[in-house]
Structure 1
Amino acid sequence: MKILLIMDPGISVPPPKYGGHERLVYMFAEEYTALGHEVELLAGPNSKISGKNYSFGINDLKRGKWQRLKETLFAWKFLLQKSKQYNLIHNFGRLAYLLPILNQPVNKIMTYGRQVDAKNIYWTNRFPHQNLKFTAPSYDCISTAQHIGDWTRVYNAIDFSKYDLTTNLPNDAPLIFLSRLDKVKGCHIAIDVALATNQKLIIAGNISNIEHEQAYFEKTLKPKIDGKQIKYVGEVNDEQKNHYLGMAKAMLFPIDVREAFGMVMTESMACGTPVIAFPMGAVPEVVDEGVTGFVVKNREEMIDAVDKIAKIDRTLCRAQAKERFDTPIIAAKYLGLFR
């Protein structure tokens, strides 16, 4: 089968550091290739998979509307010229890219990783179309589409081979918070929980360049980071993630926003490290209660859950998550959508 994967420019595939969908696109490209399919990629500059690569646009997340329009026009021309060559076109980029080929017989998957604009889905379905399926990584995300279109929940994946199971931890092993340091991610609550339970806490993640988020870090987080009990290690790459997640007794995920999936949760589970999380967005769909972590309602319940960490079997935690979220499992789900 010949497959085309599409990703917005802005960050290269695979991403050098931060980049959720860019990382997914790369993993699926390599998995599809390993399965014997012919895979091609349309993505931003410096993107590279084992198959054929086509570049368009620029790698700049702040690029303007005119640049995005030029990228869309390029994608239209590309697809009008080449779409008949493919058995499957899997789009992780803008829905607008697919407009010229909506009614062509080629199988098309449109994958979302954040809240859906239901108006776009509504108008897309008003046009003549065929063989078009929408996917999102959680039912919570799908619900934002207001039940318009042909939807399937397909979880996000991670490459479990990049994460090592750690089973024997010292009693003073730290907790970990791993996320972008925006207020809605709840790092201040993770610090409060660590202090209330007399636990060490490792904070890993990038500081936003948005002014009010920088003020949040400087005024709310930084004064409590002492380098001993509360330690900030900065933004981390895959190898560092594996190291810090593996040495932690649990991940704290006190999120205050409807996130479509939250890949850091599965990365933590891959190391055998359970997740204690607030029930926002996809959390109840990702965390298996008492097996891969605990879903708690508030700060007080999160504090109580820290005492339950020892009840989690870290080997079983990883095994359960691998069965649900490993790349081959999710790739097969995508490839099975049109069988």
Structure 2
Amino acid sequence: MKVVLVSSQALPTPPPKYGGLERIVYWLSRELIKMGHEVYLIAKPGSRIEGGVLLEGTGDEVSTFRKYESFVKQLIKDGEAVVHSHEWLYAFGLLRMRGVPCNYVLHTHHGAAYNWPSPPPFEKPNLMGISRHHALLLEAEMGIPHKYVYHGVPLEEYELYEGPREKWALFLNRATPEKGAHIAVWIAKKTGVKLKMISGGSELYGAFAGYAAMVAQRANNYGVEWLGEVDDVTKKSIMSRACCVISTATFEEPFGLFAVEAMAVGTPVVALARGALPEIIKHKKTGLLSRNLQEFAEHLNMVSRGVIDFNPRSIRQYVESHFSAKKMAENYLSIYKDVLNGNCF
């Protein structure tokens, strides 16, 4: 099968540091290629793909669509091919408005459907979320059915760590208010639990451009170690030694890739039970889900003091069963085949 994966034009695919969407698209491309499929990746300049074809965009989603519209239409005309968009604006959805049937074009939302018409201006747009909770929210917002596929990580790149863990916790998430970085600092001050923070990406969101600097200053004032953005090797090393990875997000988290990354190395996750996190974290087995900040503080204290003990190997096995990159690719491939057979949704 020929698969055209359309990534965002915000960051290279894969990203050098921060960037969940682009990392997922990269991992998906690798798994599809391993399965023997012919993969084309449309992505921001500076991206890469091993064993597939890179088509560099312009840095803008709409002009990137214009650049590759004829090429993609020809691929579809020549044989079995699907276009799987992951863009924020879904510019490649314009294919549907320019004569391409529903069984060749799909789209995965990685967040809210910002500025989308509800419903979209064409029937059966084949829209997908990244968790059951996310898909249900999108269905309610847009008034049309959504399927969903969980993200998965390449397990060979996440080594299980069964050694001794430190007493400090780790915040690993984007530096925007809804992700709750400022709340994590407050919790550390309230509980006395030492905290390290790997965070960044706020410069991509104009309204929150100064947020990371504000949180970093507050962290410094309260004895929290602000590390900013780090590379993957450093992130995995720190993540493996933490007593837990925490989430103080205040919004309906669509998935929570940070949680799967942590669990892949055997680190439990303590999180507010928001959005899809109750689907991703198995309470008392791979982490703790908190109903409110008071309970969160109690859970964090318990984990940091070793009152609750987690088995790193069991946590890792849970990820192997539910959230591998291979499983993600297999699930998407099943939907591709359904759509190609005319089962649009």
Q: TM-score, length-normalised on structure 2?
A: 0.84
> Are 1:108 and 2:105 matched, yes or no?
yes
Which SS does the other structure have where 2:31 is aligned?
Answer: helix
Seq. identity, %: 25
Report if the CA contact (8 A) 2:5-2:85 is conserved.
Answer: yes
Q: Deviation per CA, 1:170-224, whole angstroms, max 9, x where unpaired?
A: 5x43111112233332223323333444322111112634787565555565244
The partner residue of 1:201 within 195, 198, 203 is 195
> Are 1:305 and 2:305 matched, yes or no?
no
Equivalent residue, structure 2, for 1:71: 64
Amino acid at match of 2:7: M
Give 1:100 deviation, angstroms.
Answer: 2.6
> Are 1:25 and 2:25 matched, yes or no?
yes
> Are 1:179 and 2:173 matched, yes or no?
yes
Report if the CA contact (8 A) 1:125-1:149 is conserved.
Answer: no
The correspondence of residues 262-281 of structure 1 with structure 2, limited to 5 A, is: 262-281=256-275
In the aligned structure 2, how far is the partner of 1:108 from the partner of 1:224? Answer: 45
> Are 1:41 and 2:41 matched, yes or no?
yes
Alpha carbons of structure 1 residues 148 and 83: separation in structure 2 relative to 1, 3 Å: farther
In the aligned structure 2, how far is the partner of 1:125 from the partner of 1:77? Answer: 20
In the aligned structure 1, how far is the partner of 2:163 from the partner of 2:47? Answer: 39
Amino acid at match of 1:115: A
Which SS does the other structure have where 1:4 is aligned?
Answer: strand
Q: TM-score, length-normalised on structure 1?
A: 0.86
Alpha carbons of structure 1 residues 226 and 272: separation in structure 2 relative to 1, 3 Å: farther
In the aligned structure 2, how far is the partner of 1:109 from the partner of 1:331? Answer: 14
Cα RMSD, aligned residues only: 2.6
Alpha carbons of structure 1 residues 327 and 69: separation in structure 2 relative to 1, 3 Å: closer
Report if the CA contact (8 A) 1:189-1:299 is conserved.
Answer: no
Report if the CA contact (8 A) 1:92-1:111 is conserved.
Answer: yes
**Unaligned 5+ residue runs, structure 1?**
59-66
Equivalent residue, structure 2, for 1:247: 241
Alpha carbons of structure 1 residues 221 and 48: separation in structure 2 relative to 1, 3 Å: closer
Which protein has greater RCO, CA pairs closer than 8 Å, 6+ apart? 2
Which SS does the other structure have where 2:245 is aligned?
Answer: strand
Amino acid at match of 2:90: L
**Unaligned 5+ residue runs, structure 2?**
339-345
The correspondence of residues 97-246 of structure 1 with structure 2, limited to 5 A, is: 97-101=92-96, 103-104=100-101, 106-117=103-114, 119-120=116-117, 122-126=119-123, 133-142=126-135, 143-146=137-140, 148-170=143-165, 172-206=166-200, 208-209=202-203, 213=208, 216=211, 221-225=216-220, 230-246=224-240
Amino acid at match of 2:309: K
In the aligned structure 2, how far is the partner of 1:308 from the partner of 1:235? Answer: 28
Deviates more, 1:181-190 or 1:248-257: 181-190
Which SS does the other structure have where 1:11 is aligned?
Answer: coil
Amino acid at match of 2:14: P
In the aligned structure 2, how far is the partner of 1:48 from the partner of 1:274? Answer: 32
Amino acid at match of 1:12: P
Give 1:11 deviation, angstroms.
Answer: 1.6
Deviates more, 1:160-169 or 1:76-85: 76-85
Q: How many residues align?
A: 325
Alpha carbons of structure 1 residues 231 and 118: separation in structure 2 relative to 1, 3 Å: closer
In the aligned structure 2, how far is the partner of 1:99 from the partner of 1:151? Answer: 19
In the aligned structure 2, how far is the partner of 1:122 from the partner of 1:9? Answer: 25
Alpha carbons of structure 1 residues 57 and 185: separation in structure 2 relative to 1, 3 Å: same
